[in-house]
């Protein structure tokens, strides 16, 4: 290769290195994504409160619950009394009212009286329907808080990655400048400069992907919290510290999980409907009273007591009672299935919680300090010996990857704790202060 060719290649590669450095500087000055650089995100507790207040699903369930509670008292009310007027005339061809003591015009009131216990049983059915809706509302509120916490934690992890990318870009910029200077002086090879340029391009691609992912997560958060579409969502600076775990969480989940409570309420409602079906086998009564007008004679006092004849009642009601009993059994199986599912989910979440705790200890005690030491050693070796450049780039990539993975684990830990809180019917946010920061 001639001297002129070497000089031309040196100029071109140095020019390429300058372009790469300019790209790094420009990328470092750009905001991460839509609105990420426009301020600080609202606290998670404030977002959860807003989401609870403005959630259409919770609003719907609250209205249905209010309507169900209004229906409890009327469910056991007596039927409206019936006013009656009747003519008793002891002849078909002559008007005898007033001249015959047995002929009269009767006026009275008739009141239907359900069999004792039926009214209370019907009120209990209506109350059970309200209790079921209350359990459904609570389950939806817990799920909303859990989902919002997971999105907020994910956004924190993405925002924690942004400064790590900036640090890596600065490191690569220094390495690119060193490699370009060496190559221009004839002391380095082309492979080193190309390797660092490739690493810079990979960082630029990751920044673009990070911006897109953040925009998607922020959009989901705006939907859950009913924020205006496209409103910039500021940087998430910290996450609350997850509350510690205590007690037999598996047994607690099988007993207190919102889904279990909902199925328990449905079981209670089915049992109360079965009681109504059983009582419907009993006859109802009627009480009547009135006065008979007999012209010049004294008015007649009329009193009556009626009882429903059981003709065909058992044939009609017994299948309904058996159907109600089957629904009780079905609701019992659904309750048992929900308890088993909650128990299994608690075991899964606890295993994941312990796994993330162990991984975070390894990251903090070994992987992060070791990766930093490995990068420093590789860079020092390259600067001192003018040796192979690939270990420097590889150690820098590992340094970045491990710190991004740790941020993901911190977000996963809070997500798991929120899922456990929802499963155990606990508040999804602890009373402690801020936890991890990027």
Residue 48, domain CATH = 1.20.1600.10
CA–CA dist 168, 435 (Å, integer)? 25
Do the domain assignments include residue 23?
yes
Residue 299: closest CA among 285, 289, 308, 288: 289
DSSP, res 230:
T
Do the domain assignments include residue 59?
yes
DSSP, res 235:
B
Do the domain assignments include residue 429?
no
Do the domain assignments include residue 88?
no
Number of domains comprising the chain: 1
Residue 219: closest CA among 207, 206, 228, 210: 228
Do the domain assignments include residue 292?
no
Residue 225: closest CA among 10, 384, 48: 48
Degrees (nearest 5) of the Cα angle 193, 194, 196? 70
DSSP, res 32:
S
Do the domain assignments include residue 229?
yes
Q: Is the pTM of this model over 0.75?
A: yes
Range of the domain at 381: 3-77+129-266+346-424
Q: From first to last of its 438 residues, what are the pLDDT tens digits of the chain? A: 443 433 334 444 444 444 444 444 444 444 444 444 458 999 999 999 999 999 999 999 999 999 999 999 999 999 999 999 999 998 888 988 888 889 999 999 999 999 999 999 999 999 999 999 999 999 999 999 999 999 999 999 999 999 999 988 888 887 777 777 777 776 666 777 777 788 888 899 999 999 999 999 999 999 999 999 888 899 999 999 998 898 899 999 999 999 999 999 999 999 999 999 999 989 999 999 999 998 888 899 999 999 988 787 778 889 999 999 999 999 999 999 999 999 999 999 999 999 999 999 999 999 999 999 998 888 887 777 656 677 888 888 899 999 999 999 999 999 999 999 999 998 866 544 444 444
Residue 149: closest CA among 234, 55, 220, 69: 220
Do the domain assignments include residue 184?
yes
CA–CA dist 291, 301 (Å, integer)? 5
**Backbone dihedral angles phi then psi of residue 71, each to the nearest 5 degrees:** -85, -5
CA–CA dist 135, 418 (Å, integer)? 19
Do the domain assignments include residue 178?
yes
Strand order in the sheet with 82-88: 82-88, 104-113, 285-293, 300-307
């Amino acid at each position: 290769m001639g001297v002129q060719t070497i000089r031309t290649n040196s100029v071109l590669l140095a020019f390429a290195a300058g372009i790469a450095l300019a790209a790094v500087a420009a990328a470092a000055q750009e905001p991460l994504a839509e609105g990420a650089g426009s301020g600080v995100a609202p606290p998670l507790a404030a977002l959860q409160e807003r989401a609870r207040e403005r959630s259409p699903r919770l609003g719907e369930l609250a209205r249905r619950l209010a309507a169900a509670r209004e229906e409890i008292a009327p469910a056991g009310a007596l039927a409206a009394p019936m006013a009656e007027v009747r003519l008793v005339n002891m002849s078909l061809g002559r008007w005898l009212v007033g001249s015959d003591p047995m002929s009269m015009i009767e006026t009275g009131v008739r009141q239907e009286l359900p069999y004792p216990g039926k009214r209370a049983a019907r009120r209990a059915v209506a109350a059970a329907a309200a209790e079921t809706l209350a359990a459904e509302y609570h389950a939806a509120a817990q799920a909303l808080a859990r989902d919002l916490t997971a999105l907020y934690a994910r956004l924190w992890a993405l925002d924690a990655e942004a400064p790590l990318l900036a640090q890596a870009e600065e490191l690569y910029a220094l390495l690119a400048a060193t490699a370009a200077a060496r190559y221009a002086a004839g002391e380095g090879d082309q492979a080193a400069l190309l390797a660092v340029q490739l690493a810079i391009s990979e960082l630029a691609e990751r920044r673009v992907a990070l911006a897109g992912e953040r925009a998607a997560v922020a959009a989901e958060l705006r939907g859950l919290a009913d924020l205006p579409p496209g409103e910039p969502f500021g940087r998430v600076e910290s996450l609350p510290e997850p509350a510690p775990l205590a007690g037999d969480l598996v047994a607690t989940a099988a007993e207190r999980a919102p889904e279990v409570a909902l199925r328990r309420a449905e079981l209670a409602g089915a049992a109360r409907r079965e009681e109504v079906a059983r009582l419907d086998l009993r006859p109802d009564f009627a009480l009547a009273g009135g006065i008979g007008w007999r012209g010049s004679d004294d008015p007649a006092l009329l009193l009556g007591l009626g009882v429903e004849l059981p003709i065909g009642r058992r044939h009609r009601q017994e299948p309904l009672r058996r159907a109600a009993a089957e629904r009780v059994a079905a609701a019992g199986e659904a309750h048992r299935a929900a308890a088993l599912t909650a128990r299994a989910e608690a075991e899964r979440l606890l295993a994941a919680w312990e796994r993330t705790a162990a991984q975070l200890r390894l990251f903090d005690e070994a992987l992060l300090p070791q990766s930093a030491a490995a990068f420093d050693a590789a860079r020092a070796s390259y600067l001192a010996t003018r040796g192979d450049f690939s270990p420097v780039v590889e150690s820098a990539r590992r340094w970045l990857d491990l710190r991004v993975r740790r941020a993901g684990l911190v977000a996963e830990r809070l997500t798991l704790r929120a899922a456990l809180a929802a499963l155990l019917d606990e508040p999804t946010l602890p009373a402690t202060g801020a936890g991890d920061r990027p």
